[in-house]
Amino acid sequence: MSERLNNYESEGHQIIHGDALEALSRVPSASIDLVFADPPYNIGKRFGDFHDRWASDDLYAKWAYKWLEQSIRVLKPNGSIYVMTSTQAMPYFDLFLRERLTIQGRIIWHYDSSGVQAKRHFGSTYEPILFCVKDPASYVFNGDSILVEAKTGAQRKLIDYRKSSPAQYNAEKIPGNVWYFHRVRYRMPEYEEHPSQKPEALLERMILASSTPGDTILDPFAGTFTTAAVAKRLGRKSISIESQEKYIKIGLRRVLGWTQFNEQALSPPDKTYERKNGQRMPQNLTAELFDALH
């Protein structure tokens, strides 16, 4: 069944309001340089009208396989895809993707989770990311754009004698596969009202590594449009899909620079506080969301 998709576009950035699978099925094959997919994780979050809970892990995986298949179809032969999901669902994605693509990296996004502190198990402080390419012999990887400080050896000015002519350890290196970035906190300028906003720094590393200026990046589950906002800042083009109107409005403001939608002002989150249970609490935030973010 074909459903209506609303489309908004300006200067190389396209926003599609509708279902990811439906929208993806209309994207031409082999037209996208990089896909970043951060779907609902099947862990019971609320995204506007959408409740992130499938009847079983199996049904969630079957749903995911459909948009993963489409994401692979739209990728160029030298394209890459980064996929996130919950730690418990990732094995399904991994088994599915490794039969269709080459998994070039299994990345851990590690963060400090000061919000909910575990009492009888080990607290969750990471989310997994799969980095896959279509052709391991030919894919974009700009290692020089994402260098980080190499602490071991270089800081102490040690000499690396394993080299044919011994030289000092490099001061910079390509990051390993455990990436530490803060979660988006209320006080950060990039903060938007959404239960699962990813930090710009996380997207920046993937986009710099796996695309070049002018390339097109597709995000089938845009949320707060982090991918498109970073793509725009870095001179890339973007296609973003999102099913919830309340988040589409964030994209129209954050990516296309709109100030109005349907005669309604589009404004950034109002960060005024009131006191609740002795805590400073944003006026317009539910207690649940506030806890999850801090």
Ligand X SMILES: C[S@@+](CC[C@H](N)C(=O)[O-])C[C@H]1O[C@@H](n2cnc3c(N)ncnc32)[C@H](O)[C@@H]1O
Q: Please report, as ranges, the residues that interact with ligand X according to CB under 6 A.
A: 19-20, 38-40, 47-48, 50, 194, 196-198, 221, 223-224, 226, 241-244, 247
Which residue of the chain is nearest ligand X when measured via CB?
223
Looking at beta carbons only, is 39 or 282 nearer to ligand X?
Answer: 39
Shortest Cβ 244–ligand X spacing (Å) = 4
Shortest Cβ 215–ligand X spacing (Å) = 19
Looking at beta carbons only, is 19 or 94 nearer to ligand X?
Answer: 19
Looking at beta carbons only, is 50 or 273 nearer to ligand X?
Answer: 50
Cβ neighbours of 113 (radius 10 Å): 15
Q: How is residue 233 written in tokens?
A: 């800042």
Q: How is residue 79 written in tokens?
A: 């394209």
Shortest Cβ 202–ligand X spacing (Å) = 8
Looking at beta carbons only, is 185 or 280 nearer to ligand X?
Answer: 185
Place of tokens 């892990």: 57
Nearest to 23 by CA among 76, 60, 70: 70
Angle (nearest 5°) at CA 224 between 218 and 227: 35
Q: How is residue 135 written in tokens?
A: 């052709």
- CA 184 vs CA 208, 247, 256, 269, 282: distances in Å: 20, 16, 22, 14, 15
Rounded to whole angstroms, how far apart are CA atoms 163 and 12? 46
Looking at beta carbons only, is 169 or 258 nearer to ligand X?
Answer: 258
Q: How is residue 252 written in tokens?
A: 């129209």
Shortest Cβ 39–ligand X spacing (Å) = 6
Rounded to whole angstroms, how far apart are CA atoms 8 and 27? 15
Looking at beta carbons only, is 39 or 79 nearer to ligand X?
Answer: 39
Q: How is residue 119 written in tokens?
A: 């009492």
Place of tokens 């997994």: 128
Shortest Cβ 105–ligand X spacing (Å) = 19
Shortest Cβ 52–ligand X spacing (Å) = 7
Looking at beta carbons only, is 64 or 146 nearer to ligand X?
Answer: 64
Q: Which amino acid is at 194?
A: H
Nearest to 82 by CA among 125, 19, 124, 37: 37
Shortest Cβ 255–ligand X spacing (Å) = 12
